Structure 1
Amino acid sequence: MEDKMNIPLTAAELSALWTQYMNDTLATCVNRYFLENVEDEEVRPIIEWTIDTAKENVSLLLDIFRKENFPIPIGFSDQDVNITAQNLFSDTYKLMYLRHLSIIALGAGGSALGLATREDTVSFFKRVLEKAVHLQDLTRNLMLKQGTYVKPPVLSLPDKVEFVETKQYLAGFFGKKRSLTSVEVTHLFYNVQTNAIGKALITGFAQTAESKEIKDFFKRGKEIAQKHIDIFGTFLHDEDLPVPMSWDATISDSTEKIFSDKLLMFHIMAMIASGVGFYGAAMAASPRRDLGLKYATLIPEISLYLEEGASLMIKHGWMEEPPQANDRDQLIEK
């Protein structure tokens, strides 16, 4: 019988483990800075718990990498953060930021677990999911207690079960449009909220980045985020549904350097990449033509922005290569 612990790591496991290492070293830097500036004593233990979790993940990942003789990624370290810098983010934003990252971790961890093969990687990603759920609980409960939790819209319950009878259900460009479904409303709400959180983050990063080139890149990202907020918000507004709040006012006027430009770029690129996934899921779940097409037109815009960011990171030598397949043609030439 095959030893389940001695089988090679699959491509899915390699990519998920590498990405998790990068994200956890980044999370350690960001939350150490948060901890140094937090004032709310109810938020402090959540940040401390997040730091401990990220460090524990890194330790487990290092064990797997060393056992496999896999090169340890550079990731992020003390050199990428100035924890004594002035406070840039309010405690309310810190809490919302952590809640948003827990949502991303739930999706990424679930996908990684679904494709994991070896017992050690299965165990690791079960742990990642459990920690993401716990962070959800911690942030949700405190935000509900403090009155800062923004709930999705409430819809009237249907009187009976109904089936779609006409193709008008799919219409959206001409004639009368049907009301948005609860699924469509949920995606619109979440994508407005995600862009609002991202816009505040990228605004703060633009203020504190060192390079003018990076500042300009973030300024364009801020404009794109606002454009998407306006588009999705209009769909909700037209249905007399509430639009999630902006988080811009939770960012201070500090311009002091906090994070390395390398960390800033990786962080924003990772969040935008997850946003592309959310848009894709929303497009697939939105049968109304005007809404589905709107997502289809916005995804290329974000993808081009991501490509521009990747070019900047390559130019400055900041982009670590994830594990890759063998280049057979290159091997033959050798």
Structure 2
Amino acid sequence: MLTNHHIDLTAAEVASLWSNYMSDTSAICMFDFFLIHVEDTEIRSLLEFAMELSQAHVKKLQSIFTEEQHPIPEGFSISVDVNRESPRLFTDDFHLFFIQNLGKMGMEFYATALSNCARLDICEYFTECLNESSKLFNKATEIMLSKGSFIRAPFIPASKKVEYVEKQSYLAGWFGHKRPLNAVEMSQIYFNMIQNQLGRTFLMGFSQVAKLKEVREYMKKGRDISDKHVEIFGSLLSQEFLPSASAWDTMPTDSTVPPFSDKLMMFHTSVLNSVGIAHYGRSLGVSPRRDLGSNYVRLTGEVLQYAEDGMNIMIENKWLEQPPQATNRDKLANG
């Protein structure tokens, strides 16, 4: 006789569900404020679609946490973390850029979450989320293409034949002759430059409106780091006589009234830091030219230090919600 046993969530599943809840509650706050000020009808429709997805996720996640007898994370809420009376901070074009990037990050996150799942119901949930993120990304990209705001990666001529690497000089990059960038290296440079453009605009806006001086200074530092990284990646392309992505016209407005709590802005910055570090690590792994590897190691170190500074600010202000963690067995043993 078969008996149905309840299967507990694994640590990997709990981690993904918890992170998903934190991210979606923060995104809902962003969408709510953006929808107050957005003027373009296509972008408004896209924001509404993104809002519906995040709200559905939060409802589903709350149900899972309750059924599994896990505490529902506090996360973020419109009533606490959004000032709906604040003037517009970002342009419609930036709203579109932001949504497209959320689609990118969602596809990466949900693919990883799905690959770490064991329970079928959780697999089905993350599969649905992955499909939704790809749909969101495609919708945003289609609108960007129609408006002429999508900046394509550089083009390269089609290869005449298949070739194999013959010399160790293929790896060179510090001294002497450097081979041209290959398509994989080029795509990584372009991708990281675009991500830093997004981060630069966010941090520029946050630096104008944060309430605490230490948060404003932190955002200014991050803005400058992003700006420097954009210049570094752009120069790598220009040295090869390749066009670098021109910045979108996405500068923030001149508002100094905070639309979001400092806690929410610090959380969002921590997410950008984590994603940036992961992207640099991926780029390092697929970029054999030594000078590129050296750049990624150095830039990763800068972001790691910046991220640690941010975590310290969040801890000092009691803004850092702790993820679920393993039982401290030593503490139990010591009474």
The TM-score with structure 1 as length reference comes to 0.98
Distance 1:316 1:95, change over 3 A: same
Matched, 1:7 2:31: no
Aligned to 1:59: 59
Distance in 1 (CA, whole Å) between partners of 2:213 and 2:289 is: 42
Shift in Å at residue 331 of structure 1? 1.1
Runs of 4+ in 1 over 2 A off after TM superposition: 1-4, 245-250
Amino acid at match of 1:64: I
Distance in 2 (CA, whole Å) between partners of 1:163 and 1:123 is: 42
1:198-228 per-position Cα deviation (integer Å, ceiling 9, x unaligned): 0000100111110011000011001111111
Matched, 1:18 2:25: no
Task: Judge conservation of contact 2:94–2:250 (CA < 8 Å) in 1.
Answer: no
Aligned to 1:259: 260
Shift in Å at residue 175 of structure 1? 1.4
Matches within 5 A, 1:213-252: 213-247=214-248, 249-252=250-253
SS of the equivalent of 1:278 reads helix
Deviates more, 1:159-168 or 1:223-232: 223-232
Aligned to 1:201: 202
Gaps of 5+ in 2: none
Task: Judge conservation of contact 1:36–1:84 (CA < 8 Å) in 2.
Answer: no
Task: Judge conservation of contact 1:92–1:250 (CA < 8 Å) in 2.
Answer: no
Shift in Å at residue 245 of structure 1? 2.2
Shift in Å at residue 2 of structure 1? 7.2
SS of the equivalent of 1:259 reads coil
The TM-score with structure 2 as length reference comes to 0.97
Aligned to 2:170: 169
SS of the equivalent of 1:257 reads coil
Distance 1:108 1:249, change over 3 A: closer
Aligned to 1:294: 295
Gaps of 5+ in 1: none
Amino acid at match of 2:318: G
SS of the equivalent of 1:43 reads helix
Matches within 5 A, 1:135-146: 135-146=136-147
Distance in 1 (CA, whole Å) between partners of 2:295 and 2:4 is: 50
Aligned to 2:190: 189
Q: Percent identical across equivalent pairs?
A: 39
Distance in 2 (CA, whole Å) between partners of 1:146 and 1:300 is: 37
1:3-25 per-position Cα deviation (integer Å, ceiling 9, x unaligned): 47x21111110100000000010
Aligned to 1:50: 50
1:138-166 per-position Cα deviation (integer Å, ceiling 9, x unaligned): 10111111111111111111100000000
Matched, 1:133 2:134: yes
Distance in 2 (CA, whole Å) between partners of 1:325 and 1:12 is: 12
Shift in Å at residue 249 of structure 1? 4.7
Distance in 2 (CA, whole Å) between partners of 1:224 and 1:137 is: 30
Distance in 2 (CA, whole Å) between partners of 1:69 and 1:279 is: 37
Shift in Å at residue 127 of structure 1? 1.3
In the comparison of the two structures, how many residue pairs are matched? 333
Distance in 2 (CA, whole Å) between partners of 1:104 and 1:133 is: 10
Aligned to 2:272: 271
